[in-house]
Structure formats: structure tokens, C-alpha cells
Amino acid sequence: MTVSKTAEKSFEKPADAAKGRKDAPEVQSGEALQLGELSEQLGYVLKRAQLKVFENFLRCMASLQLTPAQFSVLLLVEKNPGRNQTEIASTLGILRPNFV
């Protein structure tokens, strides 16, 4: 259910991500990559927006150490008392074995 480790890695700046790799080319600061048609692809734009939302969420919830998935579960449990975990997991698209 956790996405925080994956999400946190996604938010590294290219220069920061390259620091840990020996074979990574040097990143030129100030030079933006040309995205071309990629910037017009709905999937790309949605993914970039999702990453920004997750970044903001993780920053706001840092003191609680809650992931977006955990927060979603808590909201559903609050609004649906008495419902079982199979129903909650199914609603969120989480496989039952992963819902612990």
C-alpha cells in the first residue's frame, strides 16, 4: 500500500539522481530538455501532475508519515463504518493480500 519510497525517488532532481550513479553523464544546469511532442501527450501531463500532487501530499503529511493509499483507506473507513476490508480494498483497487 505504500507509495512513499517510490514517490520520493520520483521527485529527485536530475542532478541529485545522477549523483549516486558512476556512469551518469554530467547534467548541465540551466539547460532545459526539449520535450517536443511529449509535452502534449495527455498521459505524460497527467503523470507529471500526479507526481506534483504526491510531492505536496507527502510534504504536508510528513509529520504523520501517511502515504496517499493509507490516507485513502482512513477516509473510507471513517465514511463507511462496519464495512469489511475486502470492500475497502476493492473500492481502492488494492489486491486483498496486499491490504494489511
Check residue 20 and give its pLDDT: 57
How far apart are alpha carbons 2 and 70 in whole angstroms? 7
Domain boundaries, the chain: 1-9+38-100
Check residue 2 and give its pLDDT: 41
Residue ranges in the chain modelled with pLDDT below 70: 1-28
Task: Please choose, from the candidates 54, 97, 52, 47, the residue with its C-alpha nearest in 3D space to the C-alpha of residue 72.
Answer: 54
Check residue 30 and give its pLDDT: 83
